[in-house]
Amino acid sequence: MLNIAVIGYGYWGPNIVRNFVEAPGANVLAVCDQDEARLEQAQSRYPGITTTMNPEDLINNDAIDAVAVVTPVATHYDLALKALQSSKHVLVEKPMTATVEQGETLVQEAQQRGLTLMVDHTFVYTGAVRKIQELVNSGELGDVYYYDSTRINLGLFQHDVNVLWDLAVHDLTIMDYVLAEKPIAVSATGISHVAGEPENVAYLTLFFENNMIAHINVNWLAPVKVRSMLIGGSKKMIVFDDLEPSEKLKIYDKGITVSDAPESVYEMLIGYRAGDMWAPKIERSEALRVEALHFVECIQDNKTPLTDGKAGLRVVRILEAANQSMQQQGARVALPAAH
């Protein structure tokens, strides 16, 4: 049985606790938070759980095998590093760290100690995203031309990170899992409409070595909530609407054909193909349940998580480069070769 402690019982923490409580092979021993009222809620719902306001109580507890860090981004590094140094496996909320340097240290620490470091890239564990990865990897889409995402809503404004680190991080985790190609450079623009607060509207473009491009539009000031994504391929195209209750995923047999035949030189070289649309059946299991089970399995069987520390680090590299680009009014910023 894997004894787990959860640090942070705010917005996301209760979901993490619930799924580990229900996960076979896992046992939630303790919950930590700075808010006494939240701890009382946890204690009321799970009477057998120990609660504390001091994370050191959990990190130094030899009975605890793994720690889930579900706190603001600025605290991820310190808490995760201390947990690893205390020989505990770590699940950390996205984004993994506030800087690339911090991420590199966590990855190195986990490797040296032979511990599991996993990042809570929840979308990777959804049935829809796993189906997208399957379709892309099978070649059914053909060559991927573009990834285009709109992720907008009114609020919730964050005070410690900008809208890219809050919303675009979801698309970056999806792209990292779904696409074999990794971006080589980014360009980002953004603006803040609240004095002294981080950017609340931003546009991120990612460039790849091949003929692919990605664009992500994120916004905390939209009058409607939109969670839509397009992946265009040479053979087929995918539309993913996460707010759609039933058919979240739709595959369109649409595209173009380009002719370079000599007799076509003086004619239009692009033809259009319009075929059927179908909505594949996707796994309906709660993503966090799948993720919790995966975390336990990786520790027990010494397996590398789908969203390991290196995946978390790749995402933080992009976010850090995007911040740099925004400070330079959208200048293209190169990314190091993916590891």
The string of pLDDT tens digits covering residues 34-47 is 999 999 999 999 99
User: Does the structure show a pLDDT above 80 at 231?
Assistant: yes
User: Which range is least confidently modeled, 78-92, 96-110, 192-206, 263-277?
Assistant: 263-277
Query: Whole-angstrom Cα distance, residue 199 to residue 319?
Result: 13
User: Does the structure show a pLDDT above 70 at 326?
Assistant: yes
Predicted confidence (pLDDT) per residue in 146-196, tens digit: 999 999 999 788 888 999 999 999 999 999 999 999 999 999 999 999 998
DSSP assignment string, 174-232: HHHHH-SS--SEEEEEEE-SSTTS--SEEEEEEE-SSS-EEEEEEESEEEEEEEEEEEE
For the domain spanning 124-284+317-334, the CATH number is: 3.30.360.10
- Residues of the chain with pLDDT > 90: what percent? 87
Q: How many CA atoms lie within 13 A of 116 on its CB side?
A: 24
Candidates 94, 62, 67; CA nearest to 81 is 67
Query: Whole-angstrom Cα distance, residue 170 to residue 31?
Result: 26
Q: What is the pLDDT of residue 316?
A: 98
Q: Please tell me the pTM assigned to this model.
A: 0.93
Class of domain 2-115 as given by CATH: alpha beta
Q: What is the pLDDT of residue 274?
A: 74
Residue 191 tokens, joined: 């603006």
The structural domains of the chain, with segments of one domain joined by +, span: 2-115, 124-284+317-334
Q: What is the pLDDT of residue 261?
A: 60
Mean pLDDT of the residues in the chain: 94
Q: What is the pLDDT of residue 156?
A: 80
Q: What is the pLDDT of residue 267?
A: 52
User: Where does the pLDDT of residue 69 fall: very low under 50, low under 70, confident under 90, or very high at 90 and above?
Assistant: very high
Alpha helices in the chain (DSSP H): 13-22, 36-45, 55-59, 73-85, 100-113, 127-138, 163, 169-178, 287-301, 309-327
User: Which range is least confidently modeled, 24-33, 167-176, 330-339?
Assistant: 330-339
User: Does the structure show a pLDDT above 60 at 330?
Assistant: yes
Q: What is the pLDDT of residue 101?
A: 98
Predicted confidence (pLDDT) per residue in 247-306, tens digit: 999 999 977 766 666 555 555 566 666 778 899 999 888 999 999 999 999 999 999 999
CA–CA distances in Å: residue 91 to residues 119, 121, 220 = 6, 10, 27
Query: Whole-angstrom Cα distance, residue 310 to residue 243?
Result: 29
Predicted confidence (pLDDT) per residue in 112-122, tens digit: 999 999 999 99
